[in-house]
């Protein structure tokens, strides 16, 4: 038995190696094998081709919201991904599912509108069930005159809510605006450090070795991602931690005169971090070894820039890091909250107002911030009479000498605050009546008159979800003072609380409004599907049909939303006689047949084009063309060679 088990384990590991699968899949494969082995007769007859892995998942549609975005895969395929959020009355929870991934040829508002409309028509999805669409803020998606959202509202769904664009992207862009006056000073350093260590395995090894001597946690330099500007905060945190290590490492790349000039500061670093004499001698060897490295001109210039900043301009770097690491967390906190999967639409307005006020408080006197959201969005941030002392972080506040040495830096800080604040005034929907009304579904505010008023406004906004014969005003009045409802505390699961309220049947009209409100997407959830797309479609699988990607995405989201694994979803208590999903089985068996029909249709279409345009009827594949060219070249070479016999 031990040998049989070992042989089976070796087979699993060999399959993993053969197909370049991660080792973490080993337990999953074992569990799958054990489940399949329970029905040996079915297992022996099972055949599974690549095309048979695609099948449709059926959903019962309710009021729902979409998160839609377009991206390009690594094989240059443009894909429109759509996620759908809705309240599942059976699960009593808000469910996020994958609605569809569609291949896009031309990316403009008109073509995207046609693509989505055809999809809705094919799937029999009524426009009347659509509550809102979360899009990014580019003109194609949210242009006020001819953007995709505007077209859908005008031509298909008159009741579509305006919940604004993706606020997380707004905040990322606000961070970019904050950084603009500093002219990429730190960002260039981050990029240089990452690039300088990217392919240098020996330099990475020495970096970690020096970090051990200084008792500083070591890690590879992180990459700064320009389209997610708040990554500057994460990279800045790491750079701040490793700055003493970088100083010691890059001391070896200095010229002789500079080394002599900075010998004392280096010794001070050794003393501050208790580096032993033996370790210092080892570091001297590291410097000598690194100085022998052959470097390109680009590499020399990059190392020169790093040395200049961390040694010659170290105070300036400290000032910039102090501001970044003190101000950017205000914006980062908001993004982290709304990238969570839990439903937080009731917190959207309050959190946006809070992050804006917290940011303004860094340079505006508090007494000028105790005003309405509308007044805040119209506040003149360029008026210096409103300013308090600039918040620039603990480190910068302690560098009095630096304040005198770098007076222009503080003008840049002022400009950064004003530029970022003005951008947030324009982009954050602080005056949105819809978002303010959505705050009223928070059970914490129940019992206040303003909560009742805002709930009535929300009912008017979502009037199409209210049955005509119902008296929703009376329901809201009763709900606001209902003492029989469970007590709700801050931090409780709001969706579960509302599910309990709806299950009582006391508020049928209000429940319809709440189901629509809970479905509203508030964060960039669709980006996770693009990460998955990058794992599935790569240069080796560039010919994969987007329909196959669509099926894989749908299956993954369906299992995730239900908290189930594949083996859990398809496990049967009685492997021989237990019930099965017959529709699913039919789709599995017919998938290959449908794929074959689609391939034949494409060949027929190609034949029609051949007849119409008169081009060559037979065309070899790219691999065959390559082999033919290689063979012809080889034959030509042999013909040209002299006979040596």
- Dist CA 70 CA 100 (whole Å): 12
Instruction: Find the mean pLDDT for residues 468-493.
Output: 91
Average pLDDT rounded to a whole number, residues 258-286: 94
Least confident of 315-329, 334-348, 481-495: 334-348
Q: Are residues 440 and 419 in the same domain?
A: no
Tokens of 408: 């222009």
215/264 same-domain check: yes
Under DSSP, is residue 421 helix (H, G, I), strand (E, B) or coil? helix
- The mean pLDDT value for 401-420 works out to 83
In a domain, 568, yes or no: no
The answer on 197 and 121 residing in a single domain is no
Mean pLDDT lowest among 188-192, 300-304, 403-407: 403-407
The domain boundary, picked from 322, 351, 376, lies at 322
Least confident of 14-23, 195-204, 455-464, 600-609: 14-23
pLDDT value of position 36: 83
Grade residue 583 by pLDDT with cuts at 50, 70 and 90: confident
Residue among 424, 296, 290, 450 nearest 360 (CA): 424
Task: Identify whether 48 is part of a domain.
Answer: no
pLDDT at 53: 38
Do the domain assignments include residue 42? no
pLDDT in tens, 421-438: 999 999 999 999 999 999
Phi then psi dihedrals of residue 94, to 5 deg: -80, 125
Tell me what the mean pLDDT of segment 327-351 comes to. Answer: 88
Confidence of residue 350 (pLDDT cuts 50, 70, 90): very high
Q: Does residue 31 sit within a domain? A: no
- pLDDT at position 312: 94
Residue 56: predicted pLDDT: 33
Q: Distances from the Cα of 49 to the Cαs of 175, 230, 558, 583, 598, in angstroms? A: 48, 44, 22, 19, 16
The answer to whether residues 240 and 293 belong to one domain is: yes
* pLDDT of 28 above 90: no
Q: Cα(511)–Cα(244) distance, rounded to whole angstroms?
A: 59
- At 465 the pLDDT is 92
Residue 621 in tokens: 């594949």
Kindly state whether residue 45 falls inside one of the protein's structural domains.
Answer: no
What range defines the domain where residue 73 resides? 64-163+526-562
List, for residues 9-19, the tens digit of each pLDDT value.
Answer: 666 766 766 66
Query: Given 465, 494, 518, which residue is the final one in a domain?
Result: 518
pLDDT band at 248; cut points 50, 70, 90: very high
CA distances from 129 to 346, 471, 473 (A): 20, 21, 22
Sheet holding 78-88, edge to edge: 93-104, 78-88, 64-72, 130-134
Element (H, E) at 450: helix 449-461
Is the domain of 489 the same as that of 393? no
pLDDT band at 613 (very low <50, low <70, confident <90, very high): confident
Q: Does residue 248 form part of some domain?
A: yes
Tokens 């060897």 belong to which residue?
A: 285
Q: What does pTM read for this prediction?
A: 0.80
Query: What pLDDT shows up at residue 265?
Result: 94
- What average pLDDT does this structure show over 285-297? 89
Residues 316 and 344 in one domain: no
In a domain, 183, yes or no: no
Q: What is the three-class DSSP state of 441?
A: helix
pLDDT, one tens digit per residue, over 141-188 is 888 888 999 999 999 999 999 988 888 889 999 999 999 999 999 999
Residue 184 has a pLDDT of: 92
Are 274 and 310 found together in one domain? yes
Average pLDDT in the 620-626 region? 71
Asked whether residue 70 falls in the same domain as residue 153, the answer is yes
Q: What's the mean pLDDT in 308-313?
A: 94
- Overall domain count for the chain: 5
pLDDT at 643: 58
pLDDT of residue 331: 93
pLDDT of residue 58: 43
**pLDDT value for 596:** 79
Q: Check whether 586 has a pLDDT greater than 50.
A: yes
Predicted local distance difference test score (pLDDT) of residue 220 = 92
Write down the pLDDT at residue 404: 66
The three-class DSSP label of residue 77 is coil
Q: Are 459 and 56 in contact (CB under 8 A)?
A: no
What pLDDT is stored for residue 60 in this prediction? Answer: 41
Is residue 6 in a domain?
no
> Residues 452, 473: one domain?
yes
CA distances (Å), 288 to each of 308, 481, 518, in order? Answer: 20, 78, 63
Query: What does the pLDDT average to over 361-389?
Result: 93
Average pLDDT of the residues of the chain? 84
Does 223 share its domain with 144? no
What is the tens place of the pLDDT at every residue in 49-93?
A: 544 333 333 444 578 999 888 877 656 678 888 888 999 888 888
Report, as an integer, the average pLDDT of 325-334: 92
Percent of the chain whose pLDDT exceeds 70: 83
Same domain, 316 and 213: yes
Distance in angstroms between the alpha carbons of the first and the last residue of the chain: 64
Indicate if 428 and 438 belong to the same structural domain: no
Report the share of the chain in percent with pLDDT over 90: 48
pLDDT over threshold 50, residue 286: yes
């Amino acid at each position: 038995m031990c040998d049989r088990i070992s042989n089976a384990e070796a087979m699993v590991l060999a399959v993993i190696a053969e197909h370049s699968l991660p080792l973490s899949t080993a337990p999953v494969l074992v569990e799958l094998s054990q489940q399949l082995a329970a029905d040996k007769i079915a297992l022996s007859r099972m055949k599974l081709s690549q095309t048979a892995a695609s099948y449709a998942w059926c959903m019962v549609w309710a009021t729902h919201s979409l998160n839609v975005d377009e991206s390009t895969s690594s094989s240059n395929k443009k894909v429109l991904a759509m996620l759908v959020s809705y309240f599942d009355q059976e699960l009593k929870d808000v469910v996020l599912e994958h609605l569809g991934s569609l291949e896009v040829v031309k990316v403009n508002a008109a073509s995207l509108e046609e693509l989505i409309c055809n999809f809705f028509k094919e799937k029999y999805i009524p426009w009347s069930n659509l509550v809102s669409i979360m899009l990014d803020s580019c003109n194609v998606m949210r242009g006020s005159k001819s953007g995709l959202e505007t077209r859908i509202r005008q031509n298909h769904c008159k009741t579509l809510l305006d919940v604004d664009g993706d606020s997380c992207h707004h905040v990322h862009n606000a961070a970019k605006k904050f950084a603009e006056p500093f002219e990429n000073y730190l960002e260039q350093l981050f990029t240089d450090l990452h690039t300088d260590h990217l392919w240098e395995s020996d330099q990475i090894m020495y970096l970690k070795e020096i970090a051990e001597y200084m008792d500083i946690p070591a890690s590879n330099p992180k990459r700064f991602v320009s389209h997610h500007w708040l990554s500057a905060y994460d990279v800045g945190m790491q750079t701040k931690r490793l700055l003493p290590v970088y100083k010691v490492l890059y001391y070896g790349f200095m010229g002789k005169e500079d080394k002599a000039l900075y010998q004392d500061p280096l010794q001070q670093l050794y003393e501050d971090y208790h580096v032993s004499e033996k370790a210092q001698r080892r570091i001297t060897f590291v410097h000598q070894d690194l100085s022998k490295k052959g470097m390109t001109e680009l590499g020399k210039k990059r190392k020169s820039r790093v040395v200049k900043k961390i040694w010659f301009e170290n105070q300036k770097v400290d000032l910039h890091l102090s501001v970044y690491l003190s101000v950017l967390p205000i914006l980062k906190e908001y993004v982290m909250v709304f990238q969570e999967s839990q439903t937080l639409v009731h917190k959207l307005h309050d959190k946006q107002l809070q992050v804006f006020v917290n940011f303004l408080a860094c340079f505006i006197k508090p007494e000028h911030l105790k005003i309405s959201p509308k007044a805040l969005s119209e506040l003149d941030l360029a008026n210096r009479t409103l300013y308090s002392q600039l918040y620039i972080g603990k480190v910068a506040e302690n560098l009095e000498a630096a304040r005198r040495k770098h007076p222009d830096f503080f003008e840049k800080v002022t400009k950064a605050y004003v530029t970022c604040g003005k951008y947030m005034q324009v982009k954050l929907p602080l005056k949105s009546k819809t978002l303010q009304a959505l705050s009223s579904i928070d059970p914490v505010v129940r019992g206040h008159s303003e909560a009742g008023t805002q709930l009535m406004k929300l009912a008017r906004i979502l009037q199409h979800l209210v049955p005509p014969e119902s008296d929703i005003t009376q329901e809201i009045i009763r709900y606001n003072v209902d003492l029989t409802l469970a007590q709700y505390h801050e931090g409780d699961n709001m969706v579960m609380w509302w599910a309990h309220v709806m299950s009582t049947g006391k508020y049928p009209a209000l429940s319809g409004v709440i189901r629509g409100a809970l479905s509203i997407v508030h964060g960039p959830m669709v980006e996770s599907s693009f990460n998955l797309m990058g794992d599935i479609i790569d240069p080796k699988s560039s010919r994969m049909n987007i329909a196959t990607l669509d099926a894989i995405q749908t299956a993954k989201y369906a299992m995730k939303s239900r908290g189930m694994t594949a083996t859990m979803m398809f496990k049967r208590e009685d492997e021989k006689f237990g019930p099965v999903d017959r529709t699913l089985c039919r789709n599995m068996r017919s998938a290959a047949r449908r794929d074959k029909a689609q391939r034949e249709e494409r060949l027929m279409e190609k034949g029609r084009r051949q007849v119409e345009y008169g081009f060559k009827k037979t065309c070899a594949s790219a691999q065959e063309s390559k082999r033919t060219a290689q063979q012809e070249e080889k034959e030509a070479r042999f013909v040209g060679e002299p006979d040596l016999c």
